[in-house]
Amino acid sequence: MYWQAMFSLSSGGSNKYCVFLRIYDKEKAMNKSVVEKPDYGNWVSKKFIYIPGTISLCFFGVSFVFLALTAVAVIFFVIALYFAYARYRFSPVGGDVQTRIQELVLQHLDWDGKGKGLDIGCGNGPLTIKLAQKYAEAQFTGIDYWGKEWEYSKSVCERNAKIEGVAERVAFQEASASALPFDDGAFDVAVSNLVFHEVSSVRDKKNVIKEALRVVKKGGSFAFQDLFLWKRVYGEVDDLLQTIRSWGIERVNLVNTRDSEFIPKGLRLPFMVGTIAILHGKK
């Protein structure tokens, strides 16, 4: 039936119609590739809005019987509202704070762009891909353990790299930041953004920094952003820098990025964004 219809259309005076259909399909395909956008996700998962939002609704429901529960409902409602605000501010429509924080890492990486780079805890690959766009001669690897807590995946990383036109120079691999599956000095540079404090299998997070530096070659560069000003996790800044130097690192500096003017005050405290800083230098 289909073939009959095609035959009758293409053999008669409907040739023009077939040509039109082909052009239409081509345009559709082209438009599709134009609208395909990378998905870098949001550090505030939707569940942080839905869960307190749902709890709030439940408490509002029962508050008709137990009036005192209205207060609990209001508290959960405010929590949901706050997370919605944070998600919005991190997103491209709300100021793109997430992308701008990632870009700080690139700004503090001192490198001539020759060789191989590693992004530790790459999420959906924003930093790996930005590196590949900035350094057109280099190869990059992004690793992550892609756990359930985050809405990130290797397949989305690969799709993003394809859309951004750098797929040939980047590779993504499942691995843990606590034990990187690479030889000592395997990379010319290493970067990481807001990952080290998340590595639950390592109690002393300084050891995650040490592991990251292990895979950087002697003379190579690094730029790591994390909650380095959070004393409970990393201790005093001077002690942290001294410890890193004691590992034989040639140069290490800490830059306070928490005061970057584009970070809204409302995001600083509850998200610990108020403790972010960058450790950068040369091994």
Ligand X SMILES: C[S@@+](CC[C@H](N)C(=O)[O-])C[C@H]1O[C@@H](n2cnc3c(N)ncnc32)[C@H](O)[C@@H]1O
Enter the tokens of residue 197.
């404090």
Min CB(208)–ligand X separation in Å: 8
Min CB(35)–ligand X separation in Å: 23
Which of 91, 166, 95 shows the shortest CA–CA distance to 127?
Answer: 166
What is the C-alpha to C-alpha distance for residues 125 and 215, in angstroms, rounded to an integer?
A: 19
Residue whose CB is less far from ligand X, 75 or 214: 214
Residue whose CB is less far from ligand X, 169 or 205: 205
Site for ligand X, rule CB under 6 A: 43, 102, 121-123, 126-127, 144-147, 150, 152, 176-178, 193-195, 198-199
Find where tokens 């508290």 sit.
75
Alpha helices in 68-205 (DSSP H): 70-90, 97-107, 126-134, 154-163
Min CB(40)–ligand X separation in Å: 7
Determine phi and psi for 140, rounding to 5 degrees.
-130, 150
What is the C-alpha to C-alpha distance for residues 265 and 209, in angstroms, rounded to an integer?
A: 28
Min CB(89)–ligand X separation in Å: 15
Min CB(77)–ligand X separation in Å: 26
Residue whose CB is less far from ligand X, 141 or 176: 176
Residue whose CB is less far from ligand X, 144 or 188: 144
Min CB(66)–ligand X separation in Å: 38
What is the C-alpha to C-alpha distance for residues 12 and 71, in angstroms, rounded to an integer?
A: 75
Q: Which long-range contacts (CB under 8 A, 24 or more apart) does 60-68 make?
A: none
Please name the residues in contact with 26: beta carbons below 8 A apart, sequence gap of 6 or more.
Answer: none
Residue whose CB is less far from ligand X, 147 or 266: 147
Question: Helix 2-11 vs helix 15-35: angle between axes, to the nearest 10 degrees?
Answer: 110
Residue whose CB is less far from ligand X, 126 or 220: 126
